[in-house]
């Protein structure tokens, strides 16, 4: 839809500044959370290198339920507190996992996943969803990726829940 000139190989801070601007533009004026999650998952999938899964789980009736994503088919329901996504939802804290095999309770939806970044989405101080990113490369996600994804999510959180 948007014709975006983003260089995925530019320094992370610049890549995430660009992605934040385009994410804000994509959701601007659109209140439907599912539609917005679908576009944000597609945006991240297209421009962030070395991912094998990018998408959302929503908090529905006290558990995480699969939302819009890009990548292989995935687990549909995850208990709050279970796995990396469940830990992010339970604690409200970003989970940046260098080696998913070393994370107690990690849920292997895609056997290719080696590292993971999960960012909680807050609305009115409550976690309403998580953004989940998986990579086939161990230790793929650095501090700059965490800061960049948090910035994207904080910028558009009102349109995701």
Interacting residue ranges for ligand SME, rule: CB under 6 A = 53, 74-75, 78, 83-86, 106-107, 109, 113, 116, 132, 134
Tokens of 28: 């601007």
Residue 153, classed as helix, strand or coil, is helix
State the residue number with the nearest CB to ligand SME: 83
Q: What is the DSSP string of 92-146?
A: -S-EEES-GGGSTT---SSTT--EEEEEEEEETTEEEEEEEEEESSTT---HHHH
The Cα-based distances of 26 to 48, 153, 161 in angstroms read 17, 13, 15
Q: Which is nearer to ligand SME, 20 or 95 (CB)?
A: 95
Least CB distance from residue 80 to ligand SME, whole Å?
A: 11
SS3 label, residue 77: strand
Alpha-carbon Rg for the chain in angstroms:
14
Least distance to ligand SME from the beta carbon of 71, Å? 7
Our CB check for ligand SME shows the closer of 74 and 157 to be 74
Smallest separation, CB 99 to ligand SME (Å): 12
- To ligand SME, the closest distance from the beta carbon of 52 in angstroms equals 9
Kindly tell me which of 59 and 85 has the beta carbon lying closer to ligand SME: 85
Nearer Cβ to ligand SME (35/74): 74
CB atoms closer than 10 angstroms to residue 105: 11
Least separation in angstroms between residue 131's CB and ligand SME is 11
Query: Smaller CB distance to ligand SME: residue 78 or 121?
Result: 78
């Amino acid at each position: 839809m948007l014709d975006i000139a983003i260089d995925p190989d530019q320094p992370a801070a610049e890549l995430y500044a660009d992605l934040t601007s385009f994410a804000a533009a994509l959701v601007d004026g659109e209140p439907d959370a599912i539609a917005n999650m679908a576009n944000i998952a597609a945006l991240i999938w297209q421009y962030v290198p070395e991912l094998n899964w990018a998408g959302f789980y929503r908090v529905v009736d006290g558990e995480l339920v699969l939302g819009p994503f890009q990548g292989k088919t995935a687990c549909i329901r995850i208990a709050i507190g279970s796995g990396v996504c469940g830990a992010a939802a339970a604690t409200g804290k970003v989970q940046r996992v260098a080696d998913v095999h070393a994370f107690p309770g990690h849920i292997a939806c895609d056997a290719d996943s080696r590292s993971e970044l999960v960012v909680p989405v807050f609305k009115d101080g409550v976690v309403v969803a998580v953004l989940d990113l998986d990579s086939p490369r161990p230790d793929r996600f650095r501090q700059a990726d965490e800061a960049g994804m948090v910035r994207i999510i904080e910028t558009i959180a009102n349109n995701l829940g």
